[in-house]
Amino acid sequence: MHQCGFIDRYKAQLSASGGQVSSPLGASVSPSGNGTELWKSTHRTPAWGCFRWVTFPVSFRGESGAGKTENTKKVIQYLAVVASSHKGKKDTSITGELEKQLLQANPILEAFGNAKTVKNDNSSRFGKFIRINFDVTGYIVGANIETYLLEKSRAIRQARDERTFHIFYYLIAGAKEKMRNDLLLEGFSNYTFLSNGFVPIPAAQDDEMFHETVEAMAIMGFSEEEQLSILKVVSSVLQLGNIVFKKERNTDQASMPDNTVAQKVCHLMGINVTDFTRSILTPRIKVGRDVVQKAQTKEQADFAVEALAKATYERLFLWILSRVNKALDKTHRQGASFLGILDIAGFEIFEVNSFEQLCINYTNEKLQQLFNHTMFILEQEEYQREGIEWNFIDFGLDLQPCIELIERPNNPPGVLALLDEECWFPKATDKSFVEKLCSEQGSHPKFQKPKQLKDKTEFSIIHYAGKVDYNANAWLTKNMDPLNDNVTSLLNASSDKFVADLWKDVDRIVGLDQMAKMTESSLPSASKTKKGMFRTVGQLYKEQLVKLMTTLRNTTPNFVRCIIPNHEKRSGKLDAFLVLEQLRCNGVLEGIRICRQGFPNRIVFQEFRQRYEILAANAIPKGFMDGKQACILMIKALELDPNLYRIGQSKIFFRTGVLAHLEEERDLKITDVIMAFQAMCRGYLARKAFAKRQQQLTAMKVIQRNCAAYLKLRNWQWWRLFTKVKPLLQVTRQEEEMQAKEDELQKTKERQQKADSELRELQQRHSQLTEEKNLLQEQLQAETELYAEAEEMRVRLAAKKQELEEILHEMEARLEEEEDRSQQLQTERKKMAQQMLDLEEQLEEEEAARQKLQLEKVTAEAKIKKLEDDILVMDDQNNKLSKERKLLEERVSDLTTNLAEEEEKAKNLTKLKNKHESMISELEVRLKKEEKSRQELEKLKRKLEGEASDFHEQIADLQAQIAELKMQLAKKEEELQAALGRLDDEIAQKNNALKKIRELEGHISDLQEDLDSERAARNKAEKQKRDLGEELEALKTELEDTLDSTATQQELRAKREQEVTMLKKALDEETRSHEAQVQEMRQKHTQAVEELTEQLEQFKRVSRDALFVTTKYQERYVNSFK
């Protein structure tokens, strides 16, 4: 159902308060009254008069700046009043805690998620779906808010004349002096992330909005500590933008000359500034099994800080959302139905449209498709289902081609699928993504390439609202959303519990390790990365959208269309062309057309008979009658034009205005009946009043007659005597009357006591019955709720069954497609295998040519002096070429294995083929270079021989040093053996000791473990020594290999000299560390032996004292007997 109302969003409106709600049009709307369509749409929820519990979403549609957010707030205000559990109380100013929190949720989310744009001063930079739950009595019992695609890039960069999120301006303008000092706040112009400085909003004060936001957070249940922590994070995001990096003079490495801002950031976030700086400038990256520190360039450091700021703000926003949902989640009463309010960003066309605009416009395409399906397809299908004569009308509003262009997974892949695919390719760029998109979708009717390209990353998509030019700059980065995991680990271990809680799931982020692996030369290694297997931003957003669309399809949605009146943001002005263009693009004109041609109003037979039988009271005979037949008789009695209605199988359909006319006739009929009833009541009351007046008149006459007779009688003498004597006659009967009165009083007391006891019994019985009644009411309420739940579950299961059947059919179709695709891939695999055989043959030919060149080289060098040395050099060259051949063979086998593993990635295999062809061409170039180098060998030989002799001397020195180290190690080993012997002797002497000696033996065993670790360290040193020897041999081989290299080998020689120097230093450091360890173990051993000796002497002294005391007591014992 689609609702269209005309509301001037630029005119100040009243808010909801009291028992009635003031609508934007100024009319008072109550649950039974009339008002705008916005309130009528909201009022159709289960909380107000419906007898069946259904889910009921309201979708606000329209372009950016049309007033969707404002209408959402008005609907929530309306619901907070009419569906409040405090609605029936006399004090209408009292609102429940849940209703207050529901009203205050919007100001909090707007402060952190809304911003000023060119079109809208309070534009929602995220989408939200507000789910308000109602119980079986129609009262609000809880709510939940889901958000979609926060535009977090706005936190660091804004377009001209636009603002970042409101909270940044609120905080700077509204914080008091103490808070400014605590949060290290500065002026607007001092922050880099506030691109345009201070941009005011007309008729809005940032300082007042700050206090309103803080008050809303207090009502929502945020503690003062939580509020301060939130504002600290906001301030730290601003401070991150002020960190300045500079490029060092001789290298590309970034540096931070002044870390004052970094200290502020670390103070606010509770982390160490040194670790933070090191993590940004030289983060640790795991490459294979090694962890290395990689220096970052200035651009990489700036990107890391901006990504950290965006991720921090996004996590803060999600934390606030979860905190709001926690406050609104009231589970003490079960929800029987819900009202969903969808407020999502409208269709956007800016000067520069990026990834966020694509996602927003994609969502609006899906929602517009749902509206078209509900308004046009389902409407006409219901006509056919009810058996009404109707010619199916094609309104030409099929949006599926544009949607498939964006979301199609394959054959050919859409924009999102291609973007995800490019994220896996090494060295992929935004330009390569656009090129692949143009090659795959270039012929699509909804895809265009701009005629005048400002940038090679631009393309256009024709949406339902017009053509949009997109710029794909940084789309790969936005889709992967990588972070510096060194910094995130620091934040996870922050001393601030709030910050640590924000970053508690750091294992699920894409960090530098994954990015490094994904940029390696081979694609399979990147695809096998465990932590690299992540879901992109596009995939997550698509999953959220699918869930939202499923919710909307399984319910009865109402669409409220919001229209932009003008672009000048002026009240009272209507741009006719702009409004008509929006109505045309959004399908409202077609909706009006089908409403005029079709039968938009419908009502089931039973409800029609129950509601309008009063208009044809004598048309239906008494007794049972079929609902359809009864409705036919009523229609005949009402004498309606046959062109104005159609009777279906279960409903009656009316054209526009007919049902409203029947409602007016019904109101008139009810008015006549009520007026007749009122006339009868007034006549009855008048007659009753007249009879009473007559009785009063007769009584007045009797009183007057009696008064006149008394005036005549009072002067009569006998009457006077009678009045004097009569009291004297009563004296004799007073005693009898007193006794009778006492007896009567005693009986009355007995009856009173009996009545009191009966009253107490009745009161007890009444309380028991009241308790039983309350219990039965609770049971009845529970049974009602269970019935409602069961009914809702039945509806859900039916919908789920239908959905699963559709999924089954879809999966069967996909299975057939996958089988066809598998056959195609099998054919391509055979082709690739044949290509690999061709490559192997080419490699064998190249190897034969290489061997031929090698023979020529050996023949040429046979004429050179020192034939034996040259023969050794050539042998080394032969060995090197053999190794290269083995490497190439292994490479071919690896490629074959990868081909079998990557059958589904035929395009990737094509790239691998091209890569091998380039390798073959490189080998041909290298062969040519070797032919040239053979001619230069004589000139380089003498020079390299001198250098080789120098290296031989250095190697001899290293060998001498190694021999000296061996002698030192042997000496240390002898000392350790001697120490072990002494330790064994001391242990043998203590075998007969008591419990104390056993404890000392534990210490000795610990020392034995230390000695074992020392032996392991010595073995490790020997292994390192052997490794160093092998490396020296490798250096020798490489030095000899340099005889066959080109002129560029001089640089390699210098590099090898540096490596030899580094090896020397490493060997020296290892020797020193080993000596230090041996010395430390020797000191530990000596100290332990001294401690054991001292403890043994102490034990001996204690034993002697004990023996002396024992002997003394024995002597006393003997002397006592004597």
Instruction: Tell me if 673 sits within 8 A of 665, measured CB to CB.
Output: no
Nearest alpha-carbon partner for 119 in 192, 157, 71, 69: 69
**Cβ neighbours, 10 Å, residue 864:** 13
Q: Which string of b and e fits 518-532 if b means at least 16 CB within 10 Å?
A: beeeebbebbeeeeb
Residues 6+ apart with CB under 8 A from 558: 1, 2, 3, 41, 44, 56, 57, 58, 59
737 carries a ligand binding annotation: no
| Cα pseudo-dihedral 108, 110, 113, 115, rounded to 10 | -140
Burial class (CB in 10 A: 0-12, 13-18, 19+), 678: exposed
Q: Does 1097 carry a binding-site annotation?
A: no
67 annotated as ligand-binding: yes
How far, in Å, CA of 89 to CA of 661, rounded? 37
Q: Is 68 annotated as a binding residue?
A: yes
**Token digits for 627?**
């609902």
69 known member of a binding site:
yes
Cis link prior to 412 (omega < 30° from 0)? Answer: yes
* 451: nearest Cα among 469, 435, 475: 469
What are the catalytic residues?
64-65, 69, 120, 123-124, 346, 348
Asked if 599 contacts 658 with a C-beta cutoff of 8 angstroms, the reply is no
Helix (H) or strand (E) holding 753, with range, is helix 734-861
Query: Which positions ≥6 away from 1085 have C-beta within 8 Å?
Result: 979, 983, 1007, 1010, 1011
Q: What is the 3 state secondary structure string of 195-250? A: CCCCCCCCCCCHHHHHHHHHHHHHHCCCCHHHHHHHHHHHHHHHHHCCCCCEECCC
Question: CB neighbours of 944 closer than 8 A, spacing ≥ 6?
Answer: 1042, 1043
CA distance 372 to 396: 10
Angle of helix 224-240 relative to helix 298-328, nearest 10 degrees, comes to: 160
CA dist 1097 → 561, 996, 1100 (Å): 98, 12, 5
Q: Beta strand pairing status for 290-293 and 337-343?
A: unpaired
CA 445 to the chain's CA centroid: 34
Eight-state DSSP code of residue 130: E
Strands (E), 533-588: 558-561
Beta strand pairing call for 56-61 and 28-29: unpaired
Which residues lie closer than 8 Å to 236 by C-beta, 6 or more apart? 264, 265, 268, 269, 312
Specify the DSSP element, H or E, that contains 60: strand 56-61
- C-alpha distances (whole Å) from 574 to each of 9, 10, 346, 567, 578 are 12, 11, 20, 10, 8
DSSP secondary structure, 666-708, as one string: HHHHHHHHHHHHHHHHHHHHHHHHHHHHHHHHHHHHHHHHHHH
The answer to the question of whether 532 is labelled as a binding residue is: no
**Residue showing tokens 């932009």:** 564
Q: How far apart are CA 896 and CA 914, in angstroms?
A: 15
Distance of CA 767 to the CA centre of its chain: 54
Going by C-beta distance under 8 Å and a sequence separation of 6 or more, which residues neighbour residue 923?
Answer: 846
CA nearest neighbour of 4 among 598, 661, 589, 599? 589
Q: Which structure tokens are listed for 568?
A: 């000048």
Q: CA end-to-end span of the chain, whole Å?
A: 122
Look at phi and psi of residue 688 and say left if phi exceeds 0, alpha if psi is from -120 to 50, else beta: alpha
- Report the binding-site residues for ATP: 62-69
Q: Which residues are annotated as a binding site?
A: 62-69
